[in-house]
């Protein structure tokens, strides 16, 4: 079999550049420890994020690197095991930057920073649970999809561009949650970041439906019912949840459209809406009795601003119907957040600043 000179040259290049090295860190000035922390993009509102890595920002410095995943670590002030256990949903792309685009010369146009002929979607919209960590190891891991490898050739002297689309998360907060990853601010820029995100005005929301506050369980504890703020257009991470205050109690989620206030005979509980759909799920095996029901919303702007009603009923020991207890009802409004991949221009950027990233083979 005849091997062309070009193929032989490429093989030599790869053989020379690919040592037994398994990982590379950028920016190199923050490899041992960062000097700041950052929540964007992984614990933020839906975000389009780019981080630009100069070709010489990596340690160790070798000619060719094979990336099959990227990893992060907690900032030293927050590596105490208190933060994490949220599920996030992301896409990730890697590209070479056009010649001349660096951590100091980037564009505020996302597309202007990438050579689209080199772009590879290394993670296709996937969920990851970010761990609680009590160390500063690179244990926040995002392995690329099976078979996805990005070859970064530093000898081309072109920057690497990482783009992350953060679609949502499962935190029950005001659209963000605290998860401060290690970051580094550099005097001479090695990496820079730019981003655009959907703030709180476009998030999902909820409010109590009617005056009924719920009816207590047989331990005289009042159940709770809430909704996450990530119930937005295109999000699959939104959910409603309840706390029965009773371990293992079967829960019934009722979804409706018309408010009611009907007392169920034989109980002290009111039905707060009509019944269009119902879903059953047990409470957790804890005293809190946590119950969560996913509410995915299609990627259609027509859903933005729509409302629906929910209430959760639980069953405890005893005779029917006196063994029923219920939460308050809530009105949920779907947020009109735009898909992060639709934002063309960054609304913010920080030169010489970025997450300390370990790319791994």
Name, in order, each residue with C-beta under 8 angstroms of 225's C-beta and a sequence gap of 6 or more: 214, 240, 241, 242, 310, 311, 312, 327, 328, 329, 330
CATH code 2.60.120 region(s) in the chain = 22-198+340-360
- Residue 235 banded pLDDT, cuts 50, 70, 90: confident
* Residue extent(s) of CATH 2.60.40 domains in the chain: 202-333
Per-residue burial over 217-249, b if 16 or more Cβ lie within 10 Å, else e, is beeeeebbbbbbbbbbbbbbbbbbbbbbbbeeb
At 186 the three-state DSSP class reads coil
Residue 284 confidence (pLDDT): 87
Instruction: Out of 116-125, 127-136, 332-341, pick the least confident.
Output: 332-341
What is the pLDDT averaged over residues 254-280?
A: 96
pLDDT at 200: 63
Q: What is the second-level CATH architecture of the domain 202-333?
A: Sandwich (2.60)
| pLDDT for residue 45 | 86
The reported pLDDT for the residue numbered 9 is 43
Assign 157 to helix, strand or coil: coil
Q: pTM for the full model?
A: 0.73
**Would you state the pLDDT for residue 336?**
86
Percentage of residues in the chain having pLDDT higher than 70: 93
pLDDT, the chain, mean: 91
Level-2 CATH architecture, domain 22-198+340-360: Sandwich (2.60)
More confident residue, 168 or 273: 273
Check pLDDT > 60 for residue 81: yes
């Amino acid at each position: 079999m005849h091997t062309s000179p070009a193929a032989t040259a490429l093989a030599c290049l790869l053989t020379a550049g690919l040592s037994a090295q398994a990982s590379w860190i950028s920016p190199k000035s923050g490899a041992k420890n960062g000097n700041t922390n950052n929540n964007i993009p992984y614990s933020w509102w839906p975000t389009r994020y780019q981080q630009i890595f100069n070709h010489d920002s990596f340690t160790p410095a070798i000619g060719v690197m094979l990336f099959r995943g990227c990893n992060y670590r907690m900032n030293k002030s927050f590596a105490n095991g208190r933060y994490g256990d949220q599920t996030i949903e992301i896409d990730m792309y890697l590209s070479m930057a056009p010649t001349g685009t660096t951590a100091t010369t980037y564009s505020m146009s996302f597309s202007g920073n990438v050579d689209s002929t080199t772009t590879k979607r290394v993670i296709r919209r996937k969920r990851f649970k970010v761990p609680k960590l009590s160390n500063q190891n690179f244990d926040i891991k995002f392995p690329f999809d099976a078979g996805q490898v990005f070859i970064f050739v530093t000898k081309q002297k072109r920057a690497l561009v990482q783009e992350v689309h953060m679609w949502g998360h499962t935190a029950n907060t005001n659209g963000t949650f605290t998860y401060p990853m290690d970051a580094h601010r550099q005097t001479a820029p090695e990496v820079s970041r730019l981003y655009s995100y959907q703030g709180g005005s476009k998030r999902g929301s909820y409010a109590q439906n009617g005056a009924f506050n719920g009816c207590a369980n047989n331990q005289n504890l009042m159940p709770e019912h809430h909704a996450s703020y990530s119930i937005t257009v295109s999000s699959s991470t939104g959910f409603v949840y309840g706390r029965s205050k009773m371990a293992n109690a079967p829960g019934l989620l009722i979804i409706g459209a018309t408010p009611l206030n009907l007392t169920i005979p034989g109980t002290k509980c009111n039905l707060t809406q009509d019944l269009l759909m119902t879903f059953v799920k047990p409470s957790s095996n804890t005293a809190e009795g946590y119950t969560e029901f996913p509410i995915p919303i299609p990627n259609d702007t027509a859903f933005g601003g729509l409302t629906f009603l929910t209430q959760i009923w639980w069953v405890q020991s005893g005779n029917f119907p006196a063994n029923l207890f219920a939460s308050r009802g809530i009105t949920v409004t779907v947020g009109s957040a735009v898909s992060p991949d639709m934002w063309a221009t960054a609304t913010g950027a920080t030169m010489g600043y970025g997450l300390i990233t370990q790319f791994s083979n």
